[in-house]
Structures are given as C-alpha cells and as structure tokens.
C-alpha cells in the first residue's frame, strides 16, 4: 500500500513539474511582439524544398527589410535532423516539414501554400506570405 502511494505521489509531482516547465515556455512565446517565420526541413531535400527556403528568405528580405533590420521579423531555416531543430520543433509542436509564422500565441501554417506555389507560382506564394504577415503587423 505504501508503495502505491509513493508511486502516485511521484507521478503527480513529475506531472506538476513538467506542466510548470511548459507554462514558462508558453508564456515566453506569448509575450513576444516579434514575428518569426520558420521553415522546418530535413537534411535530405528536393528542389521544391530548397526553393521554399530561398523564396521565404528572399520575400521576407524584399518585403520587410525595415522590420528585419529592427529585428521585428526574422526567418529561420531549421533542420529537424539536428538536435537543436528537434527541440524547437517540439516546443512549437511541429512534427515534419513545416512553414510556420509565429507572433506571440498566434500561429499561421503555410506549409500547403509553400509546397503548392513556391516553385510553380512564386508571385502567388509571395502574395499569400505578405497577406499572412501583414495580418500580424496590423
């Protein structure tokens, strides 16, 4: 009986500790006024994957040079095969190739649009990206 009580108390303590760590991480993300654009990918990439990264980087540079200079917006290419990439992916709840825009507690997924248009219709992709980021600026 004492053993069962010990395991129950231990499980509750571990759960409480784990939840507190997650809450601190969530609060940190929610308080941010900066816009972060993430492209999560693996080491092995195809032409489309490389094009997505290039288009994201170029579009953010051309559309938001002033905000980028002031560190109000940034682009991050994250390799999921690296330990640091895995940790960030877990924090942002990303499990595979993803294009994600984050501002505080707001998250906008652009993965489908990126794979559909980055290579075949880059102007449309740029337009969609601008629309989504502008909605976070205003």
SS3 58: helix
Instruction: Please tell me the pTM assigned to this model.
Output: 0.74
- Tens digit of each residue's pLDDT (9 = 90 or more) over 49-108: 999 999 999 999 999 988 887 889 999 999 999 999 999 999 999 999 999 999 999 999
Contacts of residue 132, defined as CB under 8 A and 6 or more positions apart, other chains included, come to 101, 108, 110
Mean pLDDT within 23-29:
38
Q: What is the pLDDT of residue 68?
A: 82
Place of tokens 């976070």: 136
- Tens digit of each residue's pLDDT (9 = 90 or more) over 30-41: 447 899 999 999
What's the residue count for the chain? 138
| Strand stretches in the chain, DSSP E | 35-41, 73-79, 98-103, 106-109
In eight-state DSSP terms, residue 72 is S
């Amino acid at each position: 009986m004492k053993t069962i009580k010990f395991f129950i108390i231990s499980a509750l303590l571990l759960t409480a500790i784990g939840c507190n760590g997650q809450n601190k991480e969530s609060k940190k993300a929610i308080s941010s006024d900066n816009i972060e654009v993430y492209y999560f990918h693996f080491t092995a990439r195809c032409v489309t994957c490389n094009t997505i990264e290039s288009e994201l980087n170029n579009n953010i540079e051309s559309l938001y040079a002033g905000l980028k200079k002031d560190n109000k917006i940034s682009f991050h290419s994250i390799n999921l095969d690296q330990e640091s990439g895995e940790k960030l992916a877990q924090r942002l709840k990303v499990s595979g190739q993803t294009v994600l825009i984050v501002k505080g507690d707001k998250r906008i997924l652009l993965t489908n649009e990126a794979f559909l248009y980055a290579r075949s219709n880059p102007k449309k992709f740029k337009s969609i990206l601008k629309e989504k980021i502008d909605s976070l600026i205003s």
